[in-house]
Amino acid sequence: MISYRLRRKLLNLLMTLGMLTATLLVLTPLGLIFFHILKMGFSSINLDFFTQIPKPPGEAGGGMANGIVGSGLLIATASLIGLPLGIFGAVYLSEYGSSRFSSLIRFSADVLSGIPSIITGMVVYGLLVVPMKGFSALAGALALALIMLPIVLRTTEEQLKMVPMTLREASLALGVPLWRTTLKVTLKSALKGIITGVLLAVARVAGETAPLLFTALGNMFWSHKLNEPIAALPLQIFNFAISPYDDWHRLAWGGALVLVTLMFTLSLLARWFGRTR
């Protein structure tokens, strides 16, 4: 009996240690990745990085300014397409939807968010690139918008559901039509939560690379036209990382530092908005 008790205690200790070890193992790559990004990134970032376009291989210096601007343009355009769709789709789910149809939409959104993003890129290629006879920033933005859509939809719906019914009733009782109530009362009181969701969605697509491969394509030069191929930070990181040139590797690390800083800032902002609800 006593030996059995000891065995049980020992097993408990062993398993607890195992869980601790697993946790440390899981966090190790995080530490390593951040260490390398900081170490390699800071040494390659300077003013040129933010003002110059990449130099041809073999020439030192150059920057990723066109990629940063291109990413900004892509994200902004994607938001213009994806946010209204997601937010008003969510309004339907939380304010009007019958439970059956809403479940179907919700399920579709969840499934859509699990589709590999490279497939989204292929679909947009067939939808926009082939008819327009060329890669374009617009196609890239559409692909990113399709990735944002389910995220924005689901988070917005969660937020709208948290708005108390009494608030809506108070407005309706004053004779305000339902649609104005939804716009001015329901959406307004859920605004901070919705912003959190939007920021998280933007953070997610800011780092997406695969859907841009056959849509925005990338560009070594400046471009700000929606109907032409455009540079994007993640695409540049990809192309430079797999190139054999040390100078380009350095640029890729710099780009990684910028991208990670951006995502970090966005998720901190999202947290801040989420907290002061």
Partner 1 sequence: MSEATTDAKIRLDRLNVHFGANHAVKEVTMAMASNSVTAIIGPSGCGKSTVLRSINRMHDLTPGARVNGSVLLDGEDIYRKECDPVTMRRRVGMVFQKPNPFPAMSIYDNVIAGYRLNGRGRRSEMDALVEQCLQRVSLWDEVKERLHVNAMQLSGGQQQRLCIARTIAVMPEVILMDEPCSALDPISTLKVEELIDELKEKYTIVIVTHNMQQAARVSDTTAFFYLGELIEMGDTKKIFTNPEKRQTEDYITGRFG
Partner 2 sequence: MPRPSHAERPVIFLPPRWNIKRGLNGDFLFKGVTVLFAISILGILLLMAVSMYRQSLPSIHTSGWSFIPGKEWDPVGGTFGALPYIYGSLVSSLLSLALATPLSIATALFITEVANRRVGGMIAALVELLAAIPSVIYGLWGVLVMAPWLQRTVEPFLNDHLGFLPFFSGPPYGVSMLAAVLILMIMIVPIITSITKEVLLAIPDSQREAAVALGATRWEMIRMAVLPYGRSGILGAVILGLGRAIGETMAVTMVIGNTPKISLSLLDPAYTMPSVIANEFAEASSDLHAAALMEIGLLLLVVTLIINSLARLLLWGVNRPTGGQA
Give the footprint of partner 1 on residues 9-48 (CB under 8 A). 9
Residue 69 or 262: which CB sits closer to partner 2? 262
DSSP letter assigned to residue 55:
P
Which entry of partner 2, partner 1, none binds 56, CB below 5 to 8 A by partner kind?
none
Q: Pick from 214, 219, 223, 230 the residue near partner 2 by CB under 8 A.
A: 214
Task: Tokens for 99, please give them.
Answer: 């439970």
Contacts of partner 2 in 53-112 (CB under 8 A): 84-86, 88-89, 91-93, 95-97, 102, 104-105, 107-112
Binding mask 131-170 for partner 2 (x = CB under 8 A): ----x----------x--xx--x-------------x--x
Alpha carbon separation from 244 to 58, 213, 252, 275 (Å, rounded): 10, 20, 12, 45
Among candidate residues 122, 262, 126, the one with its CA nearest the CA of residue 205: 262
Residue 226 sits in the site that holds partner 2 (CB under 8 A):
no
Cβ(72)–Cβ(258) below 8 Å: no
Q: Which residue has the tokens 């990181």?
A: 237
Task: Tokens for 187, please give them.
Answer: 């959406």
Residue 224 sits in the site that holds partner 1 (CB under 8 A):
no
CB of 77 to partner 1, least distance (A): 47
Residue 242 sits in the site that holds partner 2 (CB under 8 A):
yes
Alpha carbon separation from 190 to 30, 82, 171, 186 (Å, rounded): 34, 18, 15, 6
From the list 4-12, 116-124, 221-229, 268-276, the region that binds partner 1 by CB under 8 A is 4-12
